[in-house]
Chain A
Amino acid sequence: MLAFTLRRAVQAIGVMIAVGIIAFAMFRFAGDPVSQIVSIDTPAAEREAVRKSLGLDDPVLVQFARYFINAAQFKFGVSYQFRQPVSTLLAERMPATLELAVCATIFAMVFGILMGVYAALRRDTLLAKLCQAVSLIGISLPTFLIGILLIYLFAVTLGWLPSFGRGEVVRIGWWTTGLLTVSGLKALIMPSITLGLFQMTLIMRLVRAEMLEVLRADYIRFARARGLTTRAIHFGHALKNTLVPVITVAGLQFGSVIAFSIITESVFQWPGMGLMFVQAVQNVDIPIMAAYLLMVSLIFVTINLVVDILYTIVDPRLRATVSRPA
């Protein structure tokens, strides 16, 4: 188990180094950083001074090593547009994005699994067919459209929910949370649904398909022959087997929820990392873009690792192969 985790951790570090190279390459190929910082009429001598102070005249390898060592300590340089350390900016924005992503994922998991199980167990009922139809809409409608439709309905027409922002937030240490105020919670509802709807439909369809598959399995028939209650068979035996692949997908989807929050954050003017990234792209703020790339990759890699470990907890068969390293 430990050996397996360590091996996976080493692989994860390899991935992060590769991403680091790409992030570093952005500085080299997306134009001259110096001309992004200085104004047009800065004399050449001053430009050289800036270049030297930033260490941009050192050999590429030295620069890369320095960048990487800094990045490993979460020092991503100074933003061109805000003139503040990128890590400070990220730390300010991250709670908003993570809270949104977690709420969206919880929404997607809870409703996705409930609807999926229902659609599988009562697949001939009208409600189950309705679930299937709704899931098609969720899969095919683009996120920004859903967001705008929700805003039109609940913010503009009905006026129940705020159309933008996080509402009031409470500061706990460096973390800011909107979960403790009424306006913060209300502000969270629509962005979470918008962001989570696609994942929800995905999970629902996956759970339904897996559940139908599992219900045909021999051990389910044998469980029935043993006289177990329908409840025990459906929720004890079938659901647990269904969840094995669902964990993987939901885990990986959590990464893309964070990555795709760019669109939702833009629609709802949510003060998170995604919105900051979009602004950074508009202003060619490379330190922010590179840091965002690294952060998202780090989150992805971490989730992958966690999913792998979760997998072995749920499925004992994997533990056996793990203890015998291949």
Chain B
Amino acid sequence: MTVPVLSVRDLKVEFVTRRATLRAIDGVSFEIAKGEVLGVVGESGAGKSVTGLAVIGLIDPPGRISGGEILLSGMRIDHLPPEEIRRVRGKRIGMIFQDPLTSLNPLYRIGDQIVETIRTHTNLLESAARKRAVDLLAEVGIPAPDKRVDGYPHEFSGGMRQRVVIALAICAEPELIIADEPTTALDVSVQAQIIALIKRLGRDHGTAVMLVTHDMGVIAETCDRVAVMYSGRIAEIGPVQDVIRNPLHPYAKGLMGAIPTLAGEDKRLVQIPGSMPRLSAIPPGCPFNPRCAFAFDRCRVERPEPIRQGAQAVACHLYDHAAKESAA
């Protein structure tokens, strides 16, 4: 078996505050293979973005990685000294943030920002880096790139700026791209273009992509596999078609039931009662148990570990047949 591009094992991230230590990520494990797109979905505060930031080493104090390991193509990167993780950022892992309007420095020409990034990570000379910047802009679909390279960020539309951000993220040919809600701030019509672009780039360069979003439509369209996060844990992970057609975890079921369909009759969408617990008040056992219609005694005491179900893995006691049988 080949080494996955990204391998996260039992990752824990804590935020130390004056009152208490909050655990934002509690034992998350997943892998992304070369050329694979992993979608990460969940409600706001489920830990999707924090997972992405932890991988690229941008968790700022008072936050810290308190456990587990992160391996990039087999190399452990979670405890690298700041200068070494900096060399990994931008070169081996590219990141795309949510808001393209604020991701670019308004005072510098976009070409200069790309050239700066290229020259930080390679030995290219100014002129060669500039040529590469123009090529990159062409690759991400910016018209007349040789002219636009001298433009300032405010001269670009939101969608075009997100293309520039993507060009910046891929300029050193990274192995992994982390896209943190790359389409949330964009018009619906532009969203599809950006998603298609990320997908194409991933395919052309064999780049692994971690796509953080709360848009199930984007997931269905783009991803190979999907991880459903809830309260800092992965509730369910598996191939995207399986998880969407046949969700196993009660939370994933609720999530899929909440997607409106065009063909749908006038049925009310399924609603998950309650809301996700605050980080300071995560219930013992399964964090979903207060909202779960199928919860039983064990769910309130014991934390479920991922259980394989075909190609999927689900962290839910309902699927622990071995335990059920032995109990019966």
Contacts and interface: CB of A to CB of B under 8 A. Distances in A.
Query: Interface majority SS on A: helix, strand, loop or mixed?
Result: helix
A225 B120 contact: no
Nearest to A236: B116
B319 interface: no
Contacts of A226: 89-90, 95, 117, 120, 168-169
Contacts of B116: 228, 232, 236
B106 A241 contact: yes
Given A217-B102, A315-B106, A225 B95 contact: yes
B17 to A, nearest CB: 17
B103 A219 contact: yes
Nearest to A319: B152
A69 B102 CA distance: 52
Interface residues of A, number: 24
A154 B252 CA distance: 76
B103 A218 contact: yes
Given A227-B120, A232-B116, A222 B103 contact: yes
Contacts of B87: 227
B154 interface: yes
B318 interface: no
A240 B112 CA distance: 14
B153 to A, nearest CB: 9
B5 to A, nearest CB: 17
Given A227-B87, A241-B105, A221 B58 contact: yes
B281 interface: no
Given A218-B99, A320-B155, A228 B90 contact: yes
Given A225-B97, A230-B86, A237-B105, 9 more contacts: A222-B103, A225-B56, A225-B90, A227-B86, A227-B87, A228-B116, A236-B116, A320-B152, A320-B155
Interface of B: 56, 58, 82, 86-91, 94-95, 97, 99, 102-109, 116-117, 120-121, 152, 154-155, 165, 168-169, 172
Q: Which 7 A-B pairs have the closest CB atoms?
A: A227-B90, A227-B89, A218-B102, A225-B95, A226-B90, A316-B152, A222-B103
Interface of A: 217-219, 221-230, 232, 236-237, 240-241, 244, 314-317, 320
